[in-house]
Every structure is written in C-alpha cells, then in structure tokens.
C-alpha cells in the first residue's frame, strides 16, 4: 500500500457534522420507509434453495441472486446484517460446497420466468416502473461471504456455462464480496471466468481497523481487505460498496469519514481502478439493536464529502 495521499482540508457536510454532535436523545428515530434508500426484500421461487430474486436500487432493476452460502458461512458479523450469525458461528462448522447442478437448474428457471414475463407479475415487481422491472444482472452473493464457498470456481463456471448456452438472453455477472478471500486460488480461478462487462462489488465500510471492528466484527484485518481490493483493481475496475449506519447512538464522524476517504485515495494512488463508490444504508430488517438506518439526506451529505475528498464517482442508494 502506498503512503497516505495528502488530502486537502474539507469541512464535513453540515448535516453530518450537526448530527454527529447531537446527544442521543436529540437524534432522529429510524426514518420512515419513504426516507430510506430504495429497498425491497428478496424472494425465492417455489422449491428454490439457492437462487432468489430482489429488486435492487444499486442494480437499477431486478437482480437474480445466486446464494453460495445457504449454510450462512461468513467471516464478518456485521451489525447491519439481516442474518443472525451467533448460532452458526458458535457451531464452528466449515463452509459447505453448493450443489452446482441444482444451482444451474434454479437459475435457468428464474431467468426463463423473467424472460417470458411470468415472474414480472409477482406482487414485489408488478407495480414497479418499467425501468426497474428489467433484469439488471445475476449476482453471486449469499447468506454469508460467497468467496468462502469451497467450490466457488465450479459454481461460477456453472453460471458462465448457462450464459454461454444461450438458453436465455445474455446477462451480466456481479460478485458481491467483502474482499477477504480474493487472494485465494479457488476464488482467483473463478474470477478468471468473468468477462470485462462483469463487475466486482467490493465491500469497504471503514477507514480504520477500530471502526471496522465496530461495524463488521471481522475475522480478517482491514489491511488484507485493502490489499485484496488493490490487487484486483489493478487488473480490472471494481465498485466499492460502503454501508453507513448509526451504531449505539453514534453517527459516522468527521475523523472516520476522513480516514475512509484516505483509504480510497491510497487505493487510487496504488493503481486501483474504482469505477464507482456506492454509499447506502441498511434498508432491510437486521438482527442487531445496535444499528439504525441513516436517512437519504445524511447519506447524500456523506457522499458529497467523499466525492470532494477523492474525486471519485459516488452515488447514493
């Protein structure tokens, strides 16, 4: 990692600074749904176990998800996660391989129903604007960290073969990852099957180890996450996805946001190609009472701050 890039003094957006300085009693309660980033729960087709559908603001349409962690394996325990990991982590079980034949069959069925329009009649999709009812991508994701799946490359290969077979129209692939295992041979082999139009969405929620410990409760240090993002982003563009929330009554403060922006600038200085930074908050139910949503107004102020500090393209979702 290169030396810290010098960043000009920038005042934190007034709304963020004001909220960060308010006592807990004066902070707003969890905002109403209309004040949140667009969010929609995922749903599975009947009998499906590994493939689900969700309307995604970040995808700008329908995302078909491939769940590589039905066992909920993850090396993070994020405060905003909708999956409660205490029991699965306490059991200490190793990640389980997925059945790639089942995965391919379920994905074929979901994409076929989207293509023929039958899935678009579901209550979660039918009333949406036309631009949000299109297939945006197939997301390799899960109830945990997908790159921990023992047969990750085989799973990716099954999806790529389905795309190449032409049974359904061409679709883009997106890997949604916390970046902790991008250096593993199994994962690198899978990513070699990605074409240029496919995307990697790499999580980065913090600029310091202390803040990462507070938000993500990781088993892997921030330095490894940053090194993995840098190594990959030198080869192909990546999207940085960053979740900002209020935790235990505390907003992201000036110091942490500045450190976060410094990490982005260090990645840039090291040769990382960052095509977009996604700033968003927790719009789905989460298991931790420590975590609260941020409003679109606050997220927009954070995004403006990060954009000014880094010069990167930043969007709010």
What is the DSSP track for 229-254?
Answer: HHHHHTTS-EEEEEE--EETTB---H
For 264, the domain range is 14-316
Amino acid 125: pLDDT: 87
In a domain, 47, yes or no: yes
Q: Count H helices, E strands: the chain?
A: 10, 11
In a domain, 2, yes or no: no
- In the block, which residue shows the tokens 């599975």? 44
Contact call for residues 50 and 103 (beta carbons, < 8 A): yes
Amino acid 120: pLDDT: 87
For residue range 55-81, what is the model confidence (pLDDT) as tens digits?
A: 888 888 899 999 999 999 999 999 998
Contact call for residues 216 and 170 (beta carbons, < 8 A): no
In a domain, 8, yes or no: no
pLDDT exceeds 60 at position 20: no
For residue range 164-222, what is the model confidence (pLDDT) as tens digits?
A: 999 899 999 999 999 999 999 999 999 999 999 999 999 999 999 999 999 999 999 99
In a domain, 272, yes or no: yes
Quote the tokens at residue 105.
């069959």
Contact call for residues 261 and 309 (beta carbons, < 8 A): yes
pLDDT exceeds 50 at position 252: yes
**What is the SS3 assignment for 172?**
coil
For residue range 87-126, what is the model confidence (pLDDT) as tens digits?
A: 555 556 789 999 999 999 999 999 999 999 998 888 888 8
- In the block, which residue shows the tokens 């082999």? 189
Q: How far is CA 44 from the centre of its chain?
A: 19
Amino acid 198: pLDDT: 98
The whole-angstrom separation of Cα 274 and Cα 276 is 6
How many structural domains does the chain have? 1
Amino acid 4: pLDDT: 40
In a domain, 161, yes or no: yes
In a domain, 9, yes or no: no
Give the CA dihedral 211, 212, 217, 219, nearest 10 degrees: -140
In a domain, 52, yes or no: yes
Per DSSP bridges, beta strands 291-292 and 246-247 are antiparallel
pLDDT exceeds 70 at position 17: no
pLDDT exceeds 80 at position 154: yes
In a domain, 1, yes or no: no
- pTM for this one? 0.85
Averaged confidence pLDDT in the chain: 85
pLDDT exceeds 60 at position 5: no
Amino acid 113: pLDDT: 94
The whole-angstrom separation of Cα 29 and Cα 275 is 34
Amino acid 32: pLDDT: 37
Q: What is the CATH number of the domain that holds 174?
A: 3.20.20.70
Express as a percent the part of the chain with pLDDT over 70: 82
């Amino acid at each position: 990692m290169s030396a810290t890039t010098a960043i000009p003094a920038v005042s934190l957006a007034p709304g963020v600074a004001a909220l960060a300085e308010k006592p807990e009693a004066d902070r707003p309660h969890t905002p109403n749904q209309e004040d949140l980033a667009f969010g929609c729960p995922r749903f599975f087709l009947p009998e499906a176990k590994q493939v689900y559908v969700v309307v995604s603001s970040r995808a700008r349409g329908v995302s078909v998800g491939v769940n590589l962690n039905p066992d909920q394996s993850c090396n993070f325990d994020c405060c905003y996660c909708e999956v409660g990991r205490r029991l699965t982590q306490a059991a200490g079980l190793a990640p389980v391989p997925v059945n790639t034949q089942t995965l391919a069959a379920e994905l074929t069925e979901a994409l076929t129903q989207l293509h023929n329009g039958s899935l678009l009649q579901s209550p979660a999709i039918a009333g949406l604007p036309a631009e949000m009812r299109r297939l945006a991508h197939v997301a390799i994701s899960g109830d945990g960290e997908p790159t921990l799946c023992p047969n990750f490359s085989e799973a990716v290969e099954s999806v790529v073969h389905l795309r190449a077979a032409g049974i359904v129209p061409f679709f883009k692939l997106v890997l949604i990852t916390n970046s902790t295992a991008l250096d593993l041979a199994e994962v690198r082999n899978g990513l070699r099957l990605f074409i240029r139009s496919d995307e990697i969405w790499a999580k980065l929620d913090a600029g310091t180890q202390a803040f990462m410990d507070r938000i993500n409760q990781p088993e892997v240090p921030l330095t490894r996450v940053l090194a993995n993002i840098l190594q990959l982003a030198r080869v192909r563009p990546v999207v940085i996805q960053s979740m900002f929330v209020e935790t235990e009554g505390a907003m992201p403060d000036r110091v942490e946001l500045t450190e976060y922006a410094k990490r982005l600038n260090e990645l840039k200085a090291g040769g990382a190609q960052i095509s977009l930074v996604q700033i968003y908050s927790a719009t789905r139910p989460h298991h931790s009472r420590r975590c609260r949503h941020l409003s679109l107004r606050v997220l927009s102020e954070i995004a403006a701050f990060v954009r000014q500090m880094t010069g990167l393209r930043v969007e709010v979702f």
